[in-house]
A = this chain, B = another copy of it.
Amino acid sequence: MKLKIKNFKWLAGRPVVVLHKDTAKKMNVFQNDRICLRNSHKFYAVVDIFTKLVKVGEIGLSSEVTKVFRKKDGFILDVTVGEMSSATKLIKKKIDGEELNAKELEIIIDQIVRNNLTEAEIAYFASAQKMMGMTLAESINLTKAMVKTGARLNFGRKKVIDKHCIGGVAGNRTTPIVVSICVAIGLTFPKTSSRAITSAAGTADVIETISNVELKLKDLHSIVNKTGGCLAWGGSLRLAPSDDKIIQVERLINLDIESQLLASIISKKIAAGGKYILIDIPYGEGSKIASFSKAKKLGRKFKQIAKSFDIKLNVVYSDGRQPVGDGIGPVLEMYDVLSVLKNEEGAPCDLKTKSLFLASKLLKMAGVKKAKQKALEVLESGEAFDKFKEIINAQNGGKDTFDKKIKNLRLAQFKTIVKAKRSGNIIKISNKKINHLCRILGTPETMGAGVYLERHLGKVKKGDILLRMYSENKNKLEQAKRYFVKEELMKIK
């Protein structure tokens, strides 16, 4: 069908064309259908139907389409339906059970990055990965395509390290401590982290309680060059940007796709310049991975994919049966991090031990000798804490505002305690349920909300305080208490 261009000068976020409802009916296209526009070349766009904006016979173009054709209002385009772009054909191929090669995966990922695939088309790609599985070669090529289509950091010949935890453990805020220790010893650590999706807080949420975390790529680069490290939010950096889109679509139905997870993690670390990468896989009841054998299986896949890249990747398997650290929630976790870095007496042992363990593993990988000893030294001497301050100050614009930021940290105004109703052994603290409890209390939006655990797994006496809860809302506090009791959140036997 021939339609007259009307340029809308409107950034839609992806190539969108607007049709009159009668034009759409005649072409037999619907909202969010994809159509093909032709002039000297072919281009695909998504249909939006707005009867008031265009007349019958007109086609409104968003800026993304205007810039492709660069034609004035009134120019006539040939518009056809029932055709698929090359990327959608390839997604169909994968659904039909065929393996995709490097070039084909790159086309799909490239089209996702260019905003040329709709959420529904990305959902087809995600579900094909999930249900058809991916071969090792596909996983490797997917990772390559994800690196290739995004920004990439380069720190020259510096020893760049990175870590990633696959998550599922409440609290567990090791990252700021590990980064501070390793950077204090002289390694380069351009750490990017995520925000919470279903948990109480992500590392980015925790760091945000005292620092700007939304860095531009150029600023991140110069902060790392200056201080040796950073603790940034990964979301806005366009390191492997296809991943953000795919994750967004996965989240619609809480889909976990192993091949996508592997490619996502490895590609982001490579894009950030990482050469020595440590993956932490917590396992055990109540965490993401139920058993050691499953954790091992996943770990092996990380290693297999990493072999195809110029990086060294190690995996550690950690205890994921209960939260690590005492505080759960952005401010509460920041308090834990600060108390470990300041070597305070009441600092949570488990968090300190795990952080030191991960730091020494990373140091060793990067060739640092006496890694364990050195890690402990820089933590206990306060050098790690100084490095943490330096990084936070750099992220906040270079002025020394650290103490002021710390002073402004506040817990939520309402609190309550829960005591043990009997003596015995705490035999279960579900990470998943603790996270849900914190969501009820208002995390991560309410930074000062959350839970402070007075007890971990082990012995407890009747009347002992089990945990403290914080919220800006009394009703939520009551709701959380009921949830705690109903779900037997800390089971005593």
Residues of chain A whose beta carbon lies under 8 Å from any beta carbon of chain B? 1, 13, 26-28, 30-34, 80, 82, 84, 88-89, 91-92, 95, 118-124, 126-128, 130-132, 195-198, 248-249, 251-255, 439, 445
Contacts and interface: CB of A to CB of B under 8 A. Distances in A.
B33 A252 contact: yes
B95 A130 contact: yes
A200 to B, nearest CB: 11
A284 B80 CA distance: 29
Interface centre among A89, A198, A249 (most CB of B within 10 A): A249
B26 A445 contact: yes
Contact of A84 (B84, B122, B124, B254): B254
Contacts of A196: 28
A28 B118 CA distance: 20
A119 to B, nearest CB: 4
Protomer copies: 2
Contacts of A32: 119, 248
A450 to B, nearest CB: 16
A248 B131 CA distance: 22
Contacts of A249: 120
10 contacts: A1-B445, A13-B31, A26-B445, A32-B119, A82-B439, A84-B254, A95-B130, A95-B131, A120-B122, A127-B128
Given A95-B131, A123-B121, A132-B131, A33 B251 contact: yes
A69 B132 CA distance: 42
B252 A121 contact: yes
A362 B30 CA distance: 35
A33 B248 contact: yes
Contacts of A126: 124
Contacts of A89: 253
Given A120-B123, A253-B88, A30 B128 contact: no
Nearest to A132: B131
